[in-house]
Amino acid sequence: MNRKRALRAHDVQTVTFGRSRFGQRGYSENEVDAFLDVVADSLTELHTQLSAARAEVQRVKNWRQEHGIPEQGVRAPTSAEVHLHSRAQQEAEQLVGRAHRLAAQIERQAHDQYDQVLLSAHQQAEAAARAVTPDGEERAYWRAFVHVMRVNLTSVCAGFLEELERFEGSEFGTGEHAVVTDGRGATGGSR
């Protein structure tokens, strides 16, 4: 049996022993003893290697624990990093709140202006309708009303689009937190 290399499972499975001397039963006692010595030496070597590996693993675990690195490999954030993240999050929430307030203000102004334009158009249409002859009075009223409404609403929409484009170009018009309305002035969640 060669003692210079480590014992492998194949060696144990394929070992053969010579027959004992004439007059004795079984295998040669010297060969069996020599093989058991090889098995014992190999097990001792494996046990030594395993113990060394376990000690190294424990050393690394202790080092990681001393340096605040959890076993998953991610280092716990420092208090300065937590503070910086918290401050950034607060500033972001303030900006989002400010953007929501600004968008609501623009929306209120647009609705107010719309109401004013509608009232003005209605008044102008009534005045134009009163100035017409009695036979085409109602038709003239509606034509005048539609014309005035078209002119005024086109003007309001153009102004609102300019305001919206200016808002989108600002620091509040970028990001994920744009204000969405339901068409009646009520604001919804982010898009």
Mean predicted confidence (pLDDT) in 145-170: 84
- Tell which residue, 84, 121, 102, 113, has the closest CA to residue 173: 102
Mean predicted confidence (pLDDT) in 154-182: 70
User: Considering the chain, what percentage of its residues have pLDDT values greater than 70?
Assistant: 77
pTM score of the predicted model: 0.35
pLDDT averaged over the chain? 77
Residue 2 is predicted with a pLDDT of: 52
Residue 55 is predicted with a pLDDT of: 94
- Domain ranges within the chain, ordered by starting residue: 9-66, 95-190
